[in-house]
Structure 1
Amino acid sequence: MAHTSHAKTLPADLNAPPMVSAWQTRALIIGVVFSIVAVILGFLGQAQDQLGWDHVLRAWDLGLMITFGFCVGGLALLMVQYCSGGKWGLLLRRPLEAMSRTLPLVFVFFVPIAIFQGRLFMWANHGLVDKAFSLGQINKDQVEVIDHAIQWKHPMLNPTTMVVVSVICFLIWGYYTWRLNGLSLKRDRDTIANTPYWIKKLENISGPGIVVYSLTMTAAAIYWVMSLDVTWYSSIYGLLFLVGQGYSVLALSIITSVKLSESEPYATILRPVEQHDLGKMTFAFVMLNIYLAFGQFLIIWSGNLPEEINWYLDRIRGDWGIIITLDFIFHWVIPFSMLLSRDIKRNKKRLVRLCQFMIFARCWDMFWLIEPNFRDAARNLHFSWGILEYIAVPAAMISFWMWYYFAKLKTRPLVQVNDPHLAEILEPEHATA
């Protein structure tokens, strides 16, 4: 028999539920605990091999890139949604806006990198080259190659330009964050009759914004990570970070949406079909991520050029092969295999666990990208107290970022009531007449 299913209605209160405040408190406590652990490890590492505080800076760079990815990657995905449309925007718009508004904290995280760049980048302090040579970590030929690269890239890779370009990038990201978040509030106050106007306006801003984001994000990736090895270059390095940001941002967005669905108003708007769609989108980023990473490796392996292969040899030899093997399993095999399952994409608990694992895998991948850039670690994976900073420091930074993110999430209603997809998303999943 035919039957009629009635559409659901939104609750009167669309603000974040009280549990978000509990998440915020928990994140702050975790951040404080790991900060204390990081300080203790810093002293232990300094006593062990004089690299304790250097490892803090290296791990800080990892934490910066992860939180930067959440923040600016959230802004980028917000712009993609404005250009593409779709029901998923109604679910993720507020979390993505909240991520973008954490930019001030990410800038604070960047400041130590700018101040202490001479302890990280050879192009900012030639003493790092001399020290590596005196310790036998590089030979005379390698010193000549490094010196040539520093001289050739000096117009771009120098302390002043690094700070200036980074600040300009933050100002650009800040403009788009301010503009899109401000227009979103104005749209909230308008009637649904004007929705076509807002769709077109936000699309016109976001289209060029995606291009600007790609360029500025590439510049940041080059300055903050790629130039740790001044001899390395890759034409798709920025694109790898772009896709990696989508990988981690979608994972965090799904965790946020699914956990929010334990209370209103997300309990009303998050249906299994939309959750499934978010899982499929994440699966696409997993595929694209491994495609680009493997494509870069395949091109360099087939070319077998001495000036290119050392970057990979530094990350494969000396027991680093264990890390890259686990990276392949964590970053691609497990998410790919799990997201093939329709049931997992529709199971809230399992999908949240998988997305949490994906964020861990992204941190693991960043460790593999960052640590072997340093001469004491290249082709020489070894345990030290300092290496544990790669757990403590990023955990503290991510926790403080989450605390700020939850604070921003609480400042706006979680559902945009004049979204054209709201009526559709409130319909029962299998309504028939």
Structure 2
Amino acid sequence: MSNDNIVLYERKPLPTKLPLLGWSLLLIGVVLTFLAFSTDNVRASYNLIIVLMWVFSIGFGSLFLIALEHIVGSDWSVPFRRLSEILAAVLFATPLIALPLFLNLDQVFSWLNPVILDSDKYVKNKSPYLNESFFVIRNIFVFLVMFLFYFLLVGRSLRQDKTGKADTKKWSTKISAIFMPIFAILITVVAMDWLMSLEPKWFSTIFGVYYFAGSVLTALAVLTFIAITLAENGYISKYLTEDHFYNFGALMFAFTNFWAYIAFSQFMLIWYANIPDETMWYMQRGGEGWMTISLGLIFIRFLIPYMALVTRPSKSNPFRLKIIAVWVFIAHYYDLYWVIMPEYTKKTELHAPVYSWFEFTVPILVLGVIIVVFSLVAGKKNLMPIGDPKFRKGLEFHL
């Protein structure tokens, strides 16, 4: 580690109010979740799946961004990599979120209903994969593999702050290359298990890609908001420029388009084939109040962020980027609600969308998890990878 790198970044303690805010939100979220489970076990379980998949998105997306940087050899993103490494730590909260769901699987997944298993041959044919024991085992395996790659990718990076060894970069690149295909499998398994199997008769061959696109976009939004906020308040290097932030805007714009492409492709192929076991999923989201939510998804998830990011100035303006990042973060919640909650209203024969304090618990809990994890992990670490040989070059980046 060179002395130049130390001058380029000086560690500044995070505000003492940040952990207090995080723990307060988390406590409120946990209390409301307990109340929700005691009031309506089924509805609370569906909402907790939204929490789980939202947190998964941030963790998975952050790990992907770390690995992508190592593989492509990006310079501009090096100063921000530590923030992605910190955000990826939210993955360690996922087993705790999943635990109540493991105890209530039969409240959510119809493929655990003996009556449906006996009467529906399609569901029964999927029972070698969709059964309680295998479901729990493979999800525990997903947790363990995620944790392994987190330590492999992030552990070396943290040690590099002290050693400054250049060979760490080669190690990280190799690990990232191994991680990418495994990541593709893991995120597909998570999407299939917790989202697609809510309707066990339905399937989509690109649903894993759909969830991947939304996850990376959400991770980018959180990273963008945190990076700009920290830069504005002097917690990371003062040498960051609008050129750095432009790349965040460009990436959010790219993944917004990618998400729309996958979403439309999935819909168009299912609509064109017109197979009842496939179209039923969209038919359910097109009736009794859900059509409004479905049409809203087009605007909230795609058209509004697309128009907000289409010009070069909009991708460079830090204040505007923060607003767009918040919008994208909330839009992911909207997307997950659209994917998950129709299954709840179908199961309970409510049919129309529902929203009350049950659903309001979700963003409170997710924000609490993000802030608490960020405060705990970032509290004693540099917020920038000062030992990386490309750190100075990354700060000097210009378009």
TM-score by length of 1: 0.85
Whether the 8 Å CA contact 2:225–2:322 is kept in 1: the answer is yes
User: Which of 3, 18, 27 matches 2:14?
Assistant: 18
Contact 1:317/1:379 (<8 A) preserved: no
* Residue of structure 2 aligned with 1:418, choices 387, 391, 395: 387
In 2, are the aligned partners of 1:251 and 1:358 still within 8 Å (CA)?
yes
Answering whether residue 3 of structure 2 is matched by residue 30 of structure 1, we say no
Quick one: which amino acid aligns to residue 272 of structure 2?
A: S
Amino acid at match of 1:120: V
Match of 1:240 in 2: 210
Q: 1:108 to 1:263 in 2, by over 3 A?
A: same
Quote the Cα distance in structure 2 between the aligned partners of 1:370 and 1:229. 10
Q: Is the 8 A contact 1:275 1:346 kept in 2?
A: yes
Rounded Cα–Cα distance in structure 1 between residues aligned with 2:69 and 2:394: 16
* Equivalent of 2:122 in 137, 145, 149: 149
Whether contact under 8 Å (1:24, 1:403) holds in the other structure is yes
Partners of 1:149 and 1:182 in 2: CA distance: 45
Aligned residues with identical type, % of pairs: 22
In structure 1, what is the equivalent of residue 143 of structure 2? 170
- 1:105 maps to which of 89, 93, 104: 93
Tell me which structure has the larger Cα radius of gyration: 1
Q: Structure 1 CA distance, aligned partners of 2:398 and 2:181?
A: 36
Give the direction of change, closer, same or farther, for the CA distance of 1:368–1:314 in structure 2 (3 Å limit). Answer: same
Alpha-carbon shift at residue 155 of structure 1 (Å): 0.5
8 Å Cα contact 1:320-1:379 kept in structure 2: no
Which residue identity is paired with 2:352? Answer: L
Aligned to 1:402: 371
Residue matched to 2:156: 183
CA contact (8 A) 1:15 1:410 kept: no
CA contact (8 A) 1:79 1:210 kept: yes
2: distance between equivalents of 1:108 and 1:36?
Answer: 15
Figure out how many residues of one structure are paired with residues of the other and give that number.
Answer: 395
Paired with 1:41 and 1:415, the residues of 2 have a C-alpha distance of 40
The answer (yes or no) to whether the contact 1:9–1:426 under 8 Å persists in 2 is no
C-alpha distance in structure 2 between counterparts of 1:234 and 1:378, whole Å: 25
Contact 2:158–2:385 (8 Å) recurs in 1: no
Q: Which residue of 2 aligns with 1:308?
A: 278
Residue 157 (structure 2) pairs with residue 161 (structure 1): no
Change (3 A) 1:90 1:61: same
Q: Show structure 2 runs of 5+ residues with no match.
A: none
Please give the residue correspondences for 1:1-400 in structure 2 after superposition, counting only pairs within 5 Å.
Answer: 11=7, 14-19=10-15, 21-38=16-33, 46=39, 52-126=40-114, 129=116, 144=119, 147-191=120-164, 194-195=165-166, 197-374=167-344, 375-376=346-347, 380-383=351-354, 385=356, 388-400=357-369
Structure 1's 16 and 357: CA in aligned 2 closer, same or farther, altered over 3 A?
farther
Paired with 1:35 and 1:428, the residues of 2 have a C-alpha distance of: 43
Distance in 2 (alpha carbons) for counterparts of 1:211 and 1:425: 27
**TM-score, structure 2 length as denominator?**
0.92
Output one character per residue of 1:363-403: Cα deviation in whole Å (capped at 9) or x when no partner: 00000000112324679214465xx4222134224323331
Alpha-carbon separation, structure 2, partners of 1:203 and 1:399: 32
Amino acid in structure 1 at the alignment position of 2:45: L
SS of 1:205 mapped into structure 2: helix
What is the CA–CA distance in structure 2 between the aligned matches of 1:354 and 1:249, rounded to whole Å?
13
Q: Does the CA contact (< 8 Å) of 2:77 and 2:394 recur in 1?
A: no
Mapped to 2, the partners of 1:364 and 1:293 lie a distance apart of 14
Paired residues of 1:315 and 1:379 also in contact (CA < 8 A): no
User: Residues of 2 paired with 1:10 and 1:268: CA distance?
Assistant: 13
Q: Which runs of 5+ in 1 are unaligned?
A: 1-7, 47-51, 131-142
Q: Distance in 2 between matches of 1:75 and 1:230?
A: 29
| AA matched with 1:342 | R
Query: How far apart, CA to CA, are the structure 1 residues paired with 2:80 and 2:146?
Result: 19
